[in-house]
Amino acid sequence: MNTPQAPETLHVRCCIVGGGPAGMMLGFLLARQGIEVLVLEKHADFLRDFRGDTIHPSTLEVMYELGLLEAFLSRPHQQTQTVSLVVGSETLKIGDFSHLPTRCKFIAFMPQWDFLDFLADHARANPHFHLRMLAEATDVIEEQGRVAGVKASTQDGPLEVRADLVVAADGRHSVLREQAGLEILDIGAPMDVLWMRISKLPGDPSQLLGRIEAGQMLVMIDRGEYWQCAYLIAKGAAGRLKEEGLPAFRAKLAGLAPFLGSRVEELQSWDDIKLLTVAVDRLKRWSKPGLLCIGDAAHAMSPAGGVGINLAIQDAVATANILGPLLKHGPVTPEQLALVQKRREWPTRMTQGLQVLLQNRLIDPVLNSKGPISAPWIIRWLTQWPLLRRIPARLIGIGFRPEHVR
């Protein structure tokens, strides 16, 4: 009979589960404050397809405050100052970032794995920062009424990490928040997303484009050599689309973006198209003694407006500002942990409120419409009044209650 392997045990001040934008940024910031921090990431690398690629002006501001902006922008990326929507045959400019009160007045597009690699490279230069890849947290360790660490499985066998603080930054399907029994408020999303790449040619338009036709929505992100395309479908409609067949789907794409022409043939099989399920929810309480949830683990964000990464980074900055100085001296109290939710819940509620408004007023009606559609009045206003275009730019580019690195 095999005896179970004894777990390797590690002790750190703070253990962060999840090496996404929230977890990597928090790990970097805490290590910078001299706090011993370990990030556990279940994948072998950051190379995954489900992530958004947007780096917002407020995140670029954080990079500036960290002294990393120049190095960051020297990595391959694209920039856009405007957001346009194509409704039927009309192109409407709906957002203009050029007037934002930030150093960078644009959204940068960089594959998220490059962004996370960049953060990891700079964080690793700090001896207080530790990153374990292929380490999947499976449970919390609770002792005397508080979370005292996490259990994880790694390639080398079971791992137990003991920590004064465990941070769940493990995304919208967070295992830790479930194991910790934190209650979720499900807000719901009417859509899912099909995510795919199509090559880009020199004569193509060069900006962030949303394309709308009756029953269909396509968002095209200019990634230099290719278009990252997000095709929105009504929740659960992927099966029906597959039944209609790949040629029919390609024809839909070509109809929405005629300039793609025969390039839609690059989608050779359904394996080239990833289904991403969309969730919008938030925790009633983001913490319990010894454990704090941030980013999508505390509040899953819809892709509407492309602001989830921004919010995750802002949570990390706020957490480091509030808890970093306290963690230096030892465990933090439940009241101190609750300060993070107090600071970040309002921006989260406001952002999710806007996402739900966009889902209910624009996305859902479009996905369910059969006949020709015209741009809603609010979009017409944005087109006619350039000053108004600064509002969506501010909401997307900076968001509510921007955080600054202390």
Ligand X SMILES: Cc1cc2nc3c(=O)[nH]c(=O)nc-3n(C[C@H](O)[C@H](O)[C@H](O)COP(=O)(O)OP(=O)(O)OC[C@H]3O[C@@H](n4cnc5c(N)ncnc54)[C@H](O)[C@@H]3O)c2cc1C
Residues in contact with ligand X by the rule CB under 6 A: 17-23, 40-43, 51-54, 136-137, 169-171, 175, 193, 195, 276, 278, 295-297, 301, 303, 306-310, 312
We find the least distance from the C-beta atom of residue 390 to ligand X, in angstroms, to be 20
Say which residue the tokens 């964080």 belong to: 123
Return the number of the residue (156 or 265) whose C-beta is nearest ligand X: 156
| Residues sharing a CB contact under 8 Å with residue 330, sequence separation 6 or more, in sequence order | 164
The answer to whether the beta carbons of residues 402 and 58 sit under 8 Å apart is yes
We find the least distance from the C-beta atom of residue 170 to ligand X, in angstroms, to be 4
- Residue 109 tokens, joined: 């597009």
Return the number of the residue (360 or 374) whose C-beta is nearest ligand X: 360
Return the number of the residue (186 or 265) whose C-beta is nearest ligand X: 186
We find the least distance from the C-beta atom of residue 370 to ligand X, in angstroms, to be 25
We find the least distance from the C-beta atom of residue 261 to ligand X, in angstroms, to be 25
d(CA 126, CA 123): 6
Q: Which residues pair with 17 in a beta bridge?
A: 40, 168
Number of Cβ atoms within 10 Å of the Cβ of 132 = 19
We find the least distance from the C-beta atom of residue 3 to ligand X, in angstroms, to be 26
**3-state SS, residue 25:** helix
Return the number of the residue (18 or 290) whose C-beta is nearest ligand X: 18
Q: H-type helices in 245-295, by residue range?
A: 246-256
Return the number of the residue (31 or 193) whose C-beta is nearest ligand X: 193
DSSP class per residue in 173-240: T-HHHHHTT--EEE---SEEEEEEEEE--TTS--SEEEEEETTEEEEEEE-SSEEEEEEEEETTTHHH
- Residue 124 tokens, joined: 């690793």
Return the number of the residue (75 or 328) whose C-beta is nearest ligand X: 75
We find the least distance from the C-beta atom of residue 145 to ligand X, in angstroms, to be 23
